[in-house]
Homo-oligomer: A and B are copies of this chain.
Amino acid sequence: HFQTNIGAGKNPQILLFQIKIKNYCSIFTGYLMNERAEQIVHEFPFASWLCAMLHCFGSYILADLLLGQSPIDYFSNNSSVILATAVWYLIFFCPMNLFYKCVSFLPMKLVFVAMKEVVRVRKIAAGVHHAHHHYHHGWFIMMATGWVKGSGVALMSNFEQLLRGVWKPEKNEILHMSFPTKASLYGTILFTLQQTHWLPISEANLIFFFTIFMIVCKVFMTATHSHASPFTPLENLICPVFFGSVSSGHTSHHHDHHGASHEVSHPSPAPAKTKEELNEGSRKRKAKKAE
């Protein structure tokens, strides 16, 4: 799939096998953090296995859905499915949890997290390629396909939770974007601009630099258990200009100032809408609604 697009010669079968195993380990240790994941694996092993498959292959399912192809097309790779099943089984059912202890050991975990970001960036690039193949000038389609390839199961989190019997409609990944989803969105825009020759950089260089950026961010966030997004300073510069307020991804430091003013640490060059103008606009629209 993606490796043939980017350069199959550089990824021998054995290396690909190792990358896949590490990717699945990283996915499942993340999967364990989900609500009820631990509980349902013993009571409802089939549902747990199906959730695990969604976590591993959700990106392919969503990309195929967007492009009107069979959503379970990737499941024709029997070896990948069997490999993911074996990793899932070992993580949950290995005697004395040996396998889970190995993959959770912090240095190992950081290696897996780095591998996962390598895979993610390559998937985004492959998604943009795949959409470009079907729609040569469909920029929005390329961006959408790259985005779902990068974000994977996170974008269908509501329905993956529904499979586990959990339903939380007030939150979803598009409303409250986690770091990987947001990074995939920015990445897919960059890759689409590169594909349509608006960004003067070669694909290999863009993959390299974006992968380095993602690895550094994720390894740092995993090692320090931090949730601060590296995009926040840039968003706090741009969003007040275009959207008249701080973005939802602002840090707790800005929370204190949120009530006082919409202009925070970076004075914006263009005249931003003041809070009074926003309220006046909202009041007038609400008055019209009431009619």
Contact = CB atoms under 8 A, between A and B. Distances in A.
Given A138-B76, A158-B162, A93 B273 contact: yes
A285 B42 CA distance: 14
Given A42-B245, A286-B38, A140 B72 contact: yes
Secondary structure at chain A's binding surface: helix, strand, loop or mixed? Answer: helix
Nearest to A50: B174
Interface in A152-191: 158, 162-167, 169-172, 174-175, 177, 185
B165 A75 contact: no
A158 B169 CA distance: 11
Contact of A166 (B43, B95, B166, B169): B169
Given A93-B243, A273-B93, A281-B100, A78 B163 contact: no
Interface stretch (A14-22, A60-68, A208-216): A60-68
B172 A138 contact: no
Interface string A128-142: 000000110111110
Given A65-B71, A100-B285, A139 B243 contact: no
A242 B94 CA distance: 10
Interface in A233-270: 239, 242-245, 247-248
A34 to B, nearest CB: 10
Copies in the complex: 3
A32 B289 CA distance: 8
A41 B78 CA distance: 44
A11 interface: no
Contacts of A243: 41-42, 45, 93
Contact of A71 (B68, B97, B174): B68
Nearest to A288: B104
A197 interface: no
Nearest to A166: B169
Contact of A47 (B139, B175, B245, B277): B175
A33 interface: yes
Nearest to A39: B282
A73 interface: yes
25 contacts: A32-B285, A33-B289, A38-B285, A38-B286, A42-B244, A43-B248, A46-B174, A47-B174, A64-B68, A66-B70, A68-B71, A72-B141, A75-B141, A76-B135, A78-B137, A78-B140, A81-B140, A93-B242, A95-B277, A96-B281, A97-B284, A101-B284, A162-B172, A163-B174, A225-B291
Interface of A: 32-33, 38, 40-47, 50, 64-73, 75-76, 78, 81, 93, 95-97, 100-101, 104, 134-135, 137-141, 144, 158, 162-167, 169-172, 174-175, 177, 185, 225, 239, 242-245, 247-248, 273, 277-278, 280-282, 284-286, 288-289, 291
